[in-house]
Structure 1
Amino acid sequence: MELKDLFKKEISFFNKDLKSKEEVISFLSEELLKNNFINSKEDFEKAVYKRESEGSTGVGDGIAIPHVLNPTVKNSAIGFVKLKNKIDWQSLDDQPVDLVFMIMTNGKDGNEHLSALADLSGYLMKADVQSTLRNSKNVNEIKNVLTKDTKVEKKENSTKGYDLIGITACPTGIAHTYMAAEKLEEYAKQKGYTAKIETQGRRGIENRLTADDIENAKVIIFAHDKALEGLSRFNGKQVIDTSTKEAIFKGPQLIEKFEKGENLKTIKAASDEGEGSGELTLRKFLDIKGNLLGGLSRMLPFVVAGGIILGIAFLIDFAAGNGDAKGNFGVTSPVAGWFAAIGKTSMTMMVPIFGAYIAYSIVGSQGLMPGMIAGLFSTNVMNFAYGDPKVSWSGLFARLLPENIRGMESGFIGAIFGGYLAALLVFGWSKAMNKFPKSLTGVRDIVFIPVISLLSISLCMFAINIPLGYLMRSIQDGIQWLAANNLLVLASVLAGFMMCVDMGGPINKIAYALGNLSIVQGLITDPNATGYDQQTIIMASAMIAGMVPPIMIALCTVIFPKVWTIKDRDAAKANWLMGACFVSEGAIPFMVKDPKRVAVSAMIGGTIVGIIIGLGKVTLLASHGGVFVFALLSSKLVDSSTSLTGASIGTGIGITLTALIIACFISASVLGFWRMLDIKRGVLVLDSTNGVKDSINAKLLKLKNNPKEKTNNEEKILKLQSKLSSYEEYESNLKLKNIEYLKNLEEKRQKKVQRKTNK
């Protein structure tokens, strides 16, 4: 389908007198519903506002391109409105809008939505096209200009090459990629230059620059908001390195700067042709948040999907009344086991994927393999290195270690360090081999660097696990001493606290391992010793405390919705099931984004659980299962014998539920109030909308479009408009506070640097 075919007479409007962005969206949504392009006006508007909350679609030059990919769309199309008077759209150039293109698709037609947006973004940057559109009176005139402008003009390349070349790329690979390319070509033409711009967008690399293009260019501009591919082609060349926004609006100034030799950057990239690794620089190591989120975004589906499917396995066995001798659910029924295998496999890949993509975000594809190996050695999921040495292909590393520290894990914290170490090793070996002859660069990238990186990261992880193993053994010995000295309450508190420190990391694993040891009487081995029959208090404390972090997150997003983004609240819904199933890892994505507040709040809850479980002398004979093994809880306050009675089970469940509810509520409150306070102080900034403005706008639109009870609606509209105005003022104040906070931080940093310099 050609772009012009997406424009329809029924949804193309000229010289419409609409006063605001909200009126335009409402008007177009109504017309789309009336003409059978969408199923639900409300769902469509929500999708539009959700996209607007992620960044304005006002692209500049008086043009807005809102776009929707949503199941409510019946037929892909582009709605068009030429406004009688310009309106505010919070555009990138801060100028009002008079041309609005609404692209919509349901995603069933492949990349049609993305291709249409990319095509629009490119040709709408041309001044003559904009002029024609503003003078158009019907849809046929729009189609004519589209038919004319979507024809690809052949760029004849002379032996002298092009005067100006460049590469453009944006995170989504859609609008700004092609807008920046079109604008750079336009600015070059104004200067009398020939130009060729490579785009690295959603449709892949187009208009690729050749070695001759690069060699003969007079001006080179990189306009990008993400890492570029194939930079080794430019090694030794000086370029202007900037953003797509700068290229779109300040292209002439960029060309002048290049000609004057200002702000030029010399490219020194590793050979990365086609690999997507971009330039290797130490600067990428400093973007800690970006690197962690790079790993987190790839890890999250493994956690959420795996945790939910594992919960299904528990539910199946629980509903069938199954469970093994120790009360473990999800492993008895063959059907439940099938689901459990899927869930466990997905979740065991969580840490390796995390380590792999931390390394990838720093050094590109060369970091994937060593980063993943670091994650595998952190979790011991394959047993080759740290399993049972008695099995021929198991525990091959463990044979080199003292028996008392074999099989220790570092969890996702090990993956973080491992991912960074892997990236650093790849960076170092790449720099060390940078001067290989060209004939050997392929062998270097495919053989030498991967082999040496694999050996290096394996040695590093082996070394890390040795001190970690001794640390875990020391803590284990300490808890055994507490149990032996009738101080199991303290052991319970410590276990609850440790379970919430790193939620799947080494400290969490220590507490959980101790709980498992208590079930098999491995903490106190003498049946006549004090605390022998109560040592599974540690298992009860560990499991109930492990349920706190995900439930705390889910509860906090309900009680304090304004301090979380819409995406966070959606992601947190899965944590109800994860928490109920004792899958602590559901809280990890939130802790990575907000480590201090989430971890401290969870540790408070874990400590509360430990205190109540310890004082209530609640024991547990199952090592996993969450709420599905509550029937195996027992309180030694009621019955100190080793058997389970109705009274001891009922009391144990009651104390446990009390502990869980109190801990989750207090932790959620601490987290919510802490985030609220820091948001008001400007210390914490949400990375996307929290939905307040979206909700008010949706209510306003609904009232404006409801002809019934007009008088009452007008009063409600005024109240909502006042509320919207107040919230926008509140947001503006938050931005000012954040700027002040960042300014103070920078002043403190500079003072610190100055003090060091004076010394």
Structure 2
Amino acid sequence: MSDMITADLVDLDLSADSKEAAARALAERMVAQGRVTDLEGFLADVAAREAQMPTGLDGGIGIPHCRSAHVTEPTLAFGRSATGIDFGAPDGPADLIFLIAAPAGADDAHLTILSSLARQLMNAEFTSALRAADDAETTAALIRGEEQPTAPPAAAAGEGKGEGEDAGAGGAAQGAVSASEDTAAASVAASADAAADHTAPTAAPSVPVQETHAGTGTGTGTGTGTSAGSDSRQRPFRVVAVTSCPTGIAHTYMAAESLENAGRAAGVEMLVETQGSAGFTRLDPAVIATADGVIFAHDVPVRDKDRFAGKPTVDVGVKAGINRPTELIAEVREKAARGETSAPAPASGGTPVERAGDSTEGYGTKLRKWLMSGVSYMVPFVAAGGLLIALGFAIGGWQVNKAPSVMDHFLWTQTDSWGALLFQIGGVAFKFLVPVLAGYIAYGMADRPGLVPGFVGGAIALDINAGFLGGLAAGLIAGGVVMAIQKVNIPAALRGIMPVVVIPLISSAIVGFLMLVVIGKPIASAQKGLTDWLNSLTGANAILLGALLGLMMCFDLGGPVNKVAYTFATAGIAVSDPSDSAMKIMAAVMAAGMVPPLAMALATTVRGKLFTRTERENGKAAWVLGASFISEGAIPFAAADPLRVIPSSMVGGALTGALSMAFGATLRAPHGGIFVVPLIGNPFLYLIAVAAGVCTTAALVILLKGMRKQSPETALTDPAGNASTAPDETKQPVAA
């Protein structure tokens, strides 16, 4: 830790009034020390991590963090705010802010040190000492572990949190159990050693708890009323846990420490598997087998989750593991007392959708996830193949599709040959679209055994001209067939060859038969009918289709409805010689998708006083995101004010889609925004369509926000509760 933080990276009078400003102030110190090479790029990575899940913790702690290619070495910066900064914690603003910067390729040793800090934040004496420190050097030494915290007992007891609550992140494990604080605090010294090898789970020692302590924390109920020492002949209740978070640097290890401390306080044997960035060491199967209950505190899918099947299980987000560990232990004990267990692991260990989702999800939700699984794997092939084909046309001309194979004819000095090369590579990539779509739909349903019949069915759909619809059907059939086979009770002697020989053989034969003999021809006819219908669209019908696609692209800004419209468009151009109508649809979809972020950027520029400082900063980034056809650039605005932003975006998107179709603009590339304008048919009119939608949406947003009646209170705070920037509005160039 000695190299990670110095006095120059400590700000004990952090004056920022928002989490973005706090991150910038601390990041600037990192830049000054040569720890960060690109301030804006690093802050973008921090913001992207923050968008996944707020990094505020109970007890007044904020831990913005990320991995970034702009970080030269693992670094910590610390700031202390007198007024508090909102990082999204349930109990209010944070006054202790740690900015954790890890290089994109940070090694295990450095990540271990970062996890050690995360565990220290669970120690009330440590956080109290940070609040009491009066100089930067002492603070840095505390964080490095060179100074021992000597906070007064009153401060260590949870910083005055309300009765019945956990004592925040600084005292989450202690709750209100004052007599156990010495034991919990003493364990922190050991936790630093444990963190040096944090991937190896260690059992917390069984600590006798006084009978008077039971139930004083939140949600302990009767489940924690029996102390480990009440019957020396009876072994303690045993719990195994898994913690994980999107970045795997901080929350993962803080949740582990919190659960371990709570386990000690409750007299429970607690072993935690931390699935963090530095990898993880699996709990011993024998330990899992003897466990009385399981706690999952995670925000990303638990790896090898089937190991824990058939036991009383509590499944929550990682922050619940940090903020209310005592409740989780009580809940798992109650489930064990009732005999309530999770479902046994299926033979395949659960499908990707089941491992990532909730077991109570309905069939409709799972079906959507299965389809999105296939689409998500297909889209990179669409982007790569489509852009290569578009570049081939741009370099080699519109006759490049008639060029001979570059295997037979390629001249290094001729641009036509290079155009043909790019076109033919793109064509090869496009041949994978339908098989990949089908294969990964089946994978989402049945895991790896579904890949072979899925790819086979998709390839057949391609051969019989069943196209995109055939791929959807093949994937669903393949996944269903494999799931049915897996339910058959197979003799133990044959189980070893099932995934390698039997399942691929039988499922491929069944899927091939169904696609070639039963349903392939009707689907191919339907695909041809759809293509013919699209080709026949002219005039008002084409304009209406463009408006509908524009509405869909702007409805949920990258969500399922947006993806349906985008997939519909890309499926039309996913052939070596797409129809003119298919290219018009692709142009309309991309044009409409650019509208929301560009409109929000324009609105924040024209009438900045209607937006918070954070929104104006997001508006600057939205220019680039919108120009790059990344609709998600408008999400921060839609989340803060959905009733004004989303309808306005839909109106502008519908106008742009309709105009693009009316102008006859065409697009062969499936992505790229303004960077592929040279590849667009009728590019000038296309840009006019985009500009019309952007101006319409921006005008509507400004009009609706201007009509909003703000009370003095709402005028002084933004939607996140941060102080308004009204006093500095006069410094902004505002157009009337």
TM-score, with structure 2 as normaliser = 0.63
Alignment pair present for 1:186 and 2:261: yes
Alpha-carbon distance between aligned partners in 2 of 1:601 and 1:291, rounded to the nearest angstrom = 32
Alpha-carbon distance between aligned partners in 2 of 1:660 and 1:514, rounded to the nearest angstrom = 24
**1:258 aligned partner, one-letter code:** V
Render the CA deviation track for 1:594-642: whole Å, top value 9, x for unaligned: xx999987974576357x99xxxxxxxxxxxx99899xxxxxxxxxxxx
Alignment pair present for 1:94 and 2:102: no
Alignment pair present for 1:286 and 2:367: no
Deviation (angstroms), 1:191: 0.6
Deviation (angstroms), 1:570: 5.8
Deviation (angstroms), 1:165: 1.3
**2:121 aligned partner, one-letter code:** L
Alignment pair present for 1:608 and 2:662: yes
Render the CA deviation track for 1:566-613: whole Å, top value 9, x for unaligned: 99976664569xxxxxxxxxxxxxxxxxxx999987974576357x99
What is the match of residue 410 of structure 1? 467
Alpha-carbon distance between aligned partners in 1 of 2:90 and 2:531, rounded to the nearest angstrom = 61
SS of the residue aligned with 2:296? strand
Alignment of 1:424-435 (within 5 A): 424-430=480-486, 432-433=487-488, 435=489
Alpha-carbon distance between aligned partners in 2 of 1:358 and 1:210, rounded to the nearest angstrom = 33
Alpha-carbon distance between aligned partners in 1 of 2:723 and 2:4, rounded to the nearest angstrom = 27
Change (3 A) 1:75 1:325: closer
Identity of aligned residues (%): 24
Alpha-carbon distance between aligned partners in 2 of 1:160 and 1:455, rounded to the nearest angstrom = 54
Deviation (angstroms), 1:80: 2.1
> Is the contact made by 1:351 and 1:376 (CA closer than 8 Å) also made in structure 2?
yes
What is the match of residue 303 of structure 1? 382
Render the CA deviation track for 1:680-738: whole Å, top value 9, x for unaligned: 9xxxxxxxxxxxx99xx9997xxxxxxxxxxxxx9534677999xxxxxxxxxxxxxxx
What is the match of residue 274 of structure 2? 199
Deviation (angstroms), 1:189: 0.7
SS of the residue aligned with 1:241? strand
Alignment pair present for 1:455 and 2:509: yes
Change (3 A) 1:669 1:139: closer
What is the match of residue 240 of structure 1? 314
> Is the contact made by 1:285 and 1:362 (CA closer than 8 Å) also made in structure 2?
no
Alpha-carbon distance between aligned partners in 2 of 1:472 and 1:323, rounded to the nearest angstrom = 27
Render the CA deviation track for 1:108-144: whole Å, top value 9, x for unaligned: 5457776555444344334454455555624233222
Render the CA deviation track for 1:264-308: whole Å, top value 9, x for unaligned: 442222134699776596837433554454444443333333333
**1:454 aligned partner, one-letter code:** S
For residue 52 of structure 1, the aligned residue among 47, 50, 53 is 50
Deviation (angstroms), 1:78: 1.2
Deviation (angstroms), 1:328: 11
> Is the contact made by 1:496 and 1:541 (CA closer than 8 Å) also made in structure 2?
no
> Is the contact made by 1:310 and 1:344 (CA closer than 8 Å) also made in structure 2?
yes
Change (3 A) 1:303 1:220: same
Deviation (angstroms), 1:221: 1.9
Alignment of 1:257-656 (within 5 A): 257-261=331-335, 264-272=340-348, 283=361, 285-287=363-365, 288-318=367-397, 323=399, 333-378=416-461, 380=462, 386=463, 407-411=464-468, 413-430=469-486, 432-433=487-488, 435-438=489-492, 440-462=494-516, 463-472=518-527, 543-554=583-594, 557-559=597-599, 573-574=627-628, 604=658, 608=662
Alpha-carbon distance between aligned partners in 1 of 2:571 and 2:67, rounded to the nearest angstrom = 42
**2:193 aligned partner, one-letter code:** K
Render the CA deviation track for 1:246-270: whole Å, top value 9, x for unaligned: 3322222222233333694422221
**1:303 aligned partner, one-letter code:** V
Alignment of 1:591-740 (within 5 A): 604=658, 608=662, 716-717=728-729
> Is the contact made by 1:291 and 1:361 (CA closer than 8 Å) also made in structure 2?
yes
What is the match of residue 256 of structure 1? 330
Alpha-carbon distance between aligned partners in 2 of 1:511 and 1:156, rounded to the nearest angstrom = 57
Alpha-carbon distance between aligned partners in 2 of 1:245 and 1:550, rounded to the nearest angstrom = 38
Deviation (angstroms), 1:513: 9.3
Deviation (angstroms), 1:310: 3.0
Alpha-carbon distance between aligned partners in 1 of 2:278 and 2:514, rounded to the nearest angstrom = 40
Q: CA-atom RMSD, angstroms?
A: 5.4
Could you tell me which runs of 5 or more consecutive residues in structure 2 were left unpaired when the two chains were aligned: 147-187, 196-200, 206-233, 550-563, 604-614, 631-649, 667-675, 707-717
SS of the residue aligned with 2:54? coil
> Is the contact made by 1:33 and 1:41 (CA closer than 8 Å) also made in structure 2?
yes
Render the CA deviation track for 1:392-438: whole Å, top value 9, x for unaligned: xxxxxxxxxxxxxxx32331x444444444333333332x23x4455
What is the match of residue 85 of structure 1? 82
**1:558 aligned partner, one-letter code:** L
Alpha-carbon distance between aligned partners in 2 of 1:227 and 1:353, rounded to the nearest angstrom = 23
Alpha-carbon distance between aligned partners in 2 of 1:510 and 1:17, rounded to the nearest angstrom = 54
Render the CA deviation track for 1:120-176: whole Å, top value 9, x for unaligned: 434433445445555562423322269974322884699979711122334444433
**2:343 aligned partner, one-letter code:** I
**Aligned pair count?**
577
Deviation (angstroms), 1:512: 10
Alignment pair present for 1:220 and 2:298: no
Alpha-carbon distance between aligned partners in 2 of 1:679 and 1:461, rounded to the nearest angstrom = 54
Alpha-carbon distance between aligned partners in 1 of 2:279 and 2:130, rounded to the nearest angstrom = 29
What is the match of residue 520 of structure 1? none
**2:94 aligned partner, one-letter code:** V
Deviation (angstroms), 1:467: 0.9
SS of the residue aligned with 2:310? coil
Alpha-carbon distance between aligned partners in 2 of 1:670 and 1:515, rounded to the nearest angstrom = 35
What is the match of residue 396 of structure 1? none
Deviates more, 1:658-667 or 1:137-146: 658-667
Alignment pair present for 1:31 and 2:29: yes
Largest Rg, 1 or 2: 1
Alpha-carbon distance between aligned partners in 2 of 1:557 and 1:140, rounded to the nearest angstrom = 45
